[in-house]
Amino acid sequence: MKFVDYYAALGIPRDADLGQIKKAYRTLARLHHPDVSKLAGSEEKFKNAAAAYATLKNPEKRAAYDALGPLPEGTDLDAPPPGARSARHAQNARYEDMDFTDFLDSLRQGEPFGTSRGRAHGPRRGRDLEDTVSITLEQALHGSTLHLEMQDGAERKALEVTVPAGVRAGQKLRLRGKGGKGSGGGDDGDCFLHIAWKSHPRFRIDQNDLYFDLALTPWEAALGAEITVATLDADVVLTVPAGSSSAKKLRLRGRGMPQAPSAAAARGDLYALLRIEVPNPCTAEERKLFEELARVSTFAPRTSSTGTPP
């Protein structure tokens, strides 16, 4: 087992508090997660950040880690460096009955170490794993099965996760027994997944409602039209009333996101924001027709009440 400077791995000072530790880990996890980053070295940085977070967020394990004192990166920890035992004694007398092997075992297993060698070899529950997973709006609405890899100390473990329909951003899923492996007859830990929604290429999210831009031709806006639009469920026909203007908002009821973490929950709405576009450039025939319209029309949007902004 090689020494890794966990403080350097998270980019925090050695006196960082728990809030700084959590913030640093979440930032690095989002940046270097193998499902997100393809940069060289990201997987190793993610692995080190996960191991650092697992150790430093636990006061007992952090105290034991700090007792080692700063060591050169990559120092072989399978043999205790000179002064390690005395440093541990000076740091906290409660570790005096443990030897260096117990300390290494405790870090590998992800558990706080005990006050005696006997306790270290008793049943130990595996550590809990925690991560954030980003899913599409379609996956959140309809449910899905994900295949993930979680960092368990220096190891990675594959998980098949069933995401229930209606899951909300910010919701936490608990997978019992899917965390770190227990030892000495101890139970396996749990896995906790924090759900986040990915940005959608078409829809914008506002709480439970979805919004999208719908481009119209001038004649569709003036005469009305029936337009097929995509939703998270299926294509639907949207009726655009005659005389519609840009920035008008049309609603499709119940086509948004669930209002509660349940497939049966009521859903928000889907809104189409109308945007009128003109041919550019116009063909000769189109220009002729627009010129004829300009000649015969009495519509004056800058002076009429219908054209005056509210």
Secondary structure element (H or E) that encloses residue 270, with its range: strand 270-276
pLDDT at 294: 92
Name the residue among 148, 109, 117 with its Cα closest to residue 130. 148
3-class state of residue 1 by DSSP: coil
Query: Percentage helix, strand, coil, to 5, in the chain?
Result: 30, 25, 45
Q: Which residue has the tokens 């809104």?
A: 271
pTM score, whole prediction: 0.57
pLDDT in tens, 210-269: 999 999 999 999 999 999 999 999 999 999 999 999 989 999 999 999 988 777 789 999
Q: Are 150 and 97 in contact (CB under 8 A)?
A: no
3-class state of residue 2 by DSSP: strand
Q: Give me the sign of the Cα torsion angle 35, 39, 41, 46.
A: negative
Can you list the domains of the chain with their CATH numbers? 6-120 (1.10.287.110), 129-197 (2.60.260.20), 204-307 (2.60.260.20)
C-alpha–C-alpha distance, residues 212 and 274, integer Å = 9
Q: Which residues of the chain have pLDDT under 50?
A: 80-102, 104, 108-120, 307, 310
Q: Are 71 and 79 in contact (CB under 8 A)?
A: no
pLDDT at 140: 93
Q: Are 137 and 166 in contact (CB under 8 A)?
A: no
Q: Are 95 and 147 in contact (CB under 8 A)?
A: no
DSSP state of 280: S
Task: Give the end-to-end CA distance of the chain in Å, rounded to a whole number.
Answer: 70
Which DSSP string corresponds to 220-251?
HHHH-EEEEE--SS--EEEEEPTT--TT-EEE
Which DSSP string corresponds to 178-220?
-SSPPBTTPPP--EEEEEEEPPPSS-EEETTEEEEEEEE-HHH
Which amino acid makes up residue 126? G
**Quick one: tokens of 113?**
């170490």
Secondary structure element (H or E) that encloses residue 139, with its range: helix 137-142
Q: Are 84 and 100 in contact (CB under 8 A)?
A: yes
Q: Are 43 and 19 in contact (CB under 8 A)?
A: no
CB atoms within 10 A of CB 10: 22
List, in sequence order, every residue forming a beta bridge with 197; answer none if it has no partner. Answer: 135
